[in-house]
Amino acid sequence: MQALQAPTLRASPLNPLKKPNPNPHFRYVFTLPHRPTKRFTSITASSTTVSAPKREKDPKKRVVVTGMGLVSVFGNDVDVYYDKLLSGESGIGLIDRFDASKFPTRFAGQIRGFTSEGYIDGKNDRRLDDCLRYCIVAGKKALEDADLGGDKLSKIDKERTGVLVGTGMGGLTVFSDGVQNLIEKGHRKITPFFIPYAITNMGSALLAIELGFMGPNYSISTACATSNYCFYAAANHIRRGEADLMIAGGTEAAIIPIGLGGFVACRALSQRNEDPQTASRPWDKERDGFVMGEGAGVLVMESLEHAMKRGAPIIAEYLGGAVNCDAYHMTDPRADGLGVSSCIERSLEDAGVSPEEVNYINAHATSTLAGDLAEINAIKKVFKNTSEIKINATKSMIGHCLGAAGGLEAIATVKAITTGWVHPTINQFNPEPSVEFDTVANEKQQHEVNVGKTLDLCYSDIGVCDSGTGIFNFIIIFKVLRRSYHIHI
């Protein structure tokens, strides 16, 4: 209780490992509207219309989303992905990629039947880590969605086009195989691709090399908050005039023995092996840890001026964002949610959005004991009236995709705004009474979103992260130009 009442941040412990005490999406191609537009929210605290703070009006600085691409446990098509979410289908099952029989957790949101045909040539495809393959396919599909597939890339200035796709863990399979070859066969058996395909920036680099994009190019690795940091940084490159267009998001492929074993060692995973599809159950009293997932989620972001000039299909507008740090513990969240709540407030300020405009939250909600409630506490600090807010958890169906989580959930949030349907949080059997939100339990709901918000923070119950690692908090905010706003946190 003292932590909940503490007026200031606590000092970090000297030992960071020791716990401190306490349907197709809508596409709009149009000129700037000359009349007020109706706004819809992804996070909302009240049905009362409240005038928002001042928003950016300069079309050179306004950032829009014109394309979305993904690789997921439900396939590589955005509409199919969201249809599966709306139906409440679980993508969690027993791992069959390797023998997991000796692990205490033997299930995950493993991607099956993935193919890169038409996007990566066969020779390179055989060499690449899945983390890189997912990135390239998702990136190219996002460009196709933005009407920039194939020869249409000639429409844009490639010197002012960049790539910022991050990953939490990088090419983990390539790294693991290289270490194994070193131990068993000696250094001569290490592939020359060991270093290039293991480092975290190579997804962005390969995509830029193949497409000829010469603008800003790097990666950000902030564990589960990775994708959102990338969106934030990409938008700022555009706002500062350093780029016209950016491909941004996250990719991850960690469902291999060393990845699973590492999270098992952290004691962070659910062990509901007898019923994997019900294992990821955010805000349920019986939750026992998160479920690993994998994939990639990527957005094409560009200035409004640039998008309108080329007649792009405008899906949503990025309004703003914020980043900060709990400065509290390596893995545990602050119980009072202070770091997260202040990050939410800063993102709303940057976006020019008032809390009352928000009526939908796609939460970070990883199904960990401490993390789920810490996030709820933070949200309650900012949004005082919870009666009109819908809050859901994509991870209940696809698992925690680590560095790709924010990307896949941003796409789900934009689809909620554009379709008017909010996907369910499945496995809501015995909900925590303190949540006090409509969690869209087990069945989809029709919901006119005013402003949408996606949370990707960084905390977990015992040893990993909800969207980072107990350290990073990140919030970004989107809106649909004609219908609604999307706030991605």
Residues 6+ apart with CB under 8 A from 3: 10, 22, 334, 335, 336
* Residue 20 within any structural domain of the chain: no
> Quick check: is 306 catalytic?
no
pLDDT for position 58: 84
In a domain, 257, yes or no: yes
- Confidence at residue 481, expressed as pLDDT on a 0 to 100 scale: 62
| C-alpha distances in Å from residue 59, one per residue of 21, 225, 244, 305, 478 | 49, 28, 11, 5, 15
- The pLDDT value recorded for residue 27 is 40
Within a domain: 155: yes
**Domain membership flag for residue 188:** yes
For residue 251, the enclosing domain spans 63-479
For residue 149, the tally of other CB atoms under 10 A from its CB is 14
Asked whether residue 53 is domain-assigned, the answer is: no
Q: Which of 135, 224, 230, 343 is the catalytic position?
A: 224
Give dist(CA 440, CA 297) in Å, integer: 23
Q: Report the pLDDT value the prediction gives residue 47, as an integer from 0 to 100.
A: 36
Write down the pLDDT at residue 57: 83
- The set of residues, in sequence order, having a beta carbon less than 8 Å from that of 288 and lying 6+ positions away, is 270, 271, 272, 279, 367, 369
Q: Mind listing the pLDDT tens digit for each residue in 83-140?
A: 999 999 999 999 999 999 999 999 999 999 999 999 999 888 999 999 999 999 999 9
Render pLDDT for 284-313 as a digit per residue (tens, 0 to 9): 999 999 999 999 999 999 999 999 999 999
Nearest to 489 by CA among 373, 351, 370, 377: 351
What total of structural domains would you count in the chain? 1
Question: Does some domain include residue 168?
Answer: yes
Q: What is the DSSP letter of 51?
A: P
Q: Which residue has the tokens 């997932």?
A: 293
The CATH number of whichever domain residue 399 belongs to comes to 3.40.47.10
7 within domain boundaries:
no
To the query of whether residue 364 is one of the catalytic residues in this protein, the response is: yes
Residues in the chain, total: 489
- Give the chain's residues under pLDDT 50: 1-50, 457-471, 483-489
pTM for the model stands at: 0.85
329 classed as catalytic: no
Taking the C-alpha atoms of residue 240 and residue 8, their distance in angstroms, rounded to an integer, is: 34
Selected catalytic residue, list 237, 306, 329, 364? 364
* Residue 42 included in any domain: no
CA atoms within 13 A on the CB side of 464: 30
Of 400, 423, 447, 488, which residue is the catalytic one? 400
pLDDT, residue 337, reads 80
